Structure 1
Amino acid sequence: MTESTITPTAGKPFPEFSLPDAQGQTHTLSGLHGRYVVLYAYPKDDTPGCTKEACDFRDNALLKSHGAAILGISADDAGSHADFAEKFSLPFPLLVDEHATYLKSIGAYGEKNMYGKVTEGIKRQTFLVDPDGRLVKAWLAVKVDGHADAVADAIDRDRARRA
């Protein structure tokens, strides 16, 4: 992983990661080879939008039926992730990137504008990676409502294209 920011491009290999979850288990993209991977960057544990997004991913039956690996990633620490996952019964790993190094490298951290206030932080983004490790689609300005369904639909379209 480099310090420079890349622009994820559909059809190209997605940058490898090696990050711990709340229990200290390390997750890598290459370790999920053969499965669709939904990597979603979110600003903060246990806040309204982030909670809705996590619960929508948790509850999406189509994502479950596809066997997609869902991974959340933020700069919150392991304890915060553990509390968040337990409170909302999240069945997928929340990756710890406390210094936002990986998030910065994939363009999911930087300047953002919320209601006219410009700040720097994690951008709500989602990356769908195919079973071969290539980016299928990137959502760079996620609106939470209906987002998990849109990700599941993108898997359906990619599977049909491969058939």
Structure 2
Amino acid sequence: MTHLQEGDKAPDFRSTTQDGEPLTLADLAGQRTILYFYPKDNTSGCTLEAQSLRDGREELARRGFRIVGVSPDSERSHRNFCDKHALNFTLLADTDHSVCEAYGVWAEKSMYGRKYMGVLRTTFVIDAEGRIEKIFTKVDTKNHYRQTSAPTTGRRGDHETRGADHPDRRHVGSSRRHGGSAPE
């Protein structure tokens, strides 16, 4: 469960991309970023989510967004994932979980009575100044591009976000209905 709220300064990070290039939050300054955390390359829910963002990338770019995916997979795994699914955006290799931990999405999970540590599928929309604009904790993997690009209406629940003013803020991620909770 993330400790971050909409309006917070996004935590700084330093990691490497699928191409072995370093990337920091400062490198993303000046443009809006969809920073999405997912459990594992080449699994069903994660692939659907990546394909949705891939298919919407041009429209998102026209609207000033950059897409960056983060998982504990290696650079090599990310390169293979990008090649296999023609992904057209950056993936960060967070093998030590430091980025996931900074964003509060590395947590204990449970499946079939077995507990393990893993990524809580979560997406942060970060504005050009590095502040968190939106947090999506209930990710619709198949339609994530549409979910992240929907205009803000100000009505709670429209985008399945949990902002600072949401009454269930302390329960973020506790009623997840999306894929990616299986050990991967």
- Match 1:157 to one of 139, 152, 161: 152
Unaligned runs of 5+ in 1: 159-163
Deviation at 1:83, TM superposition (A): 0.4
Q: Which residue of 2 aligns with 1:32?
A: 28
Distance 2:115 2:144 in 1: 24
Q: Which residue of 1 aligns with 2:47?
A: 51
Are 1:123 and 1:141, in contact at CA under 8 Å, matched by a contact in 2?
A: no
Q: Does 1:64 align with 2:61?
A: yes
1:67-78 counterparts in 2 under 5 A? Answer: 67-78=64-75
The 3-state SS of whatever aligns with 1:137 is strand
Q: Which residue of 2 aligns with 1:8?
A: 4
Distance 1:62 1:149 in 2: 10
Q: Does 1:132 align with 2:147?
A: no
Q: Which residue of 1 aligns with 2:139?
A: 142
Give the number of equivalent residue pairs: 152
Are 1:41 and 1:74, in contact at CA under 8 Å, matched by a contact in 2?
A: yes
Distance 2:102 2:28 in 1: 20
Unaligned runs of 5+ in 2: 154-184
Residue type at the aligned position of 1:96: A
Structure with a larger share of its residues in helix: 1
Deviation at 1:53, TM superposition (A): 0.3
Q: Does 1:88 align with 2:108?
A: no
Distance 2:73 2:50 in 1: 14
Distance 1:13 1:125 in 2: 17
Deviations 1:96-124 (A, max 9, x none): 11011220121111122446654321111
The normalised TM-score by structure 2 is 0.76
Deviates more, 1:74-83 or 1:97-106: 97-106
Identity %: 35
The RMSD of aligned alpha carbons is: 2.0
Q: Which residue of 2 aligns with 1:22?
A: 18
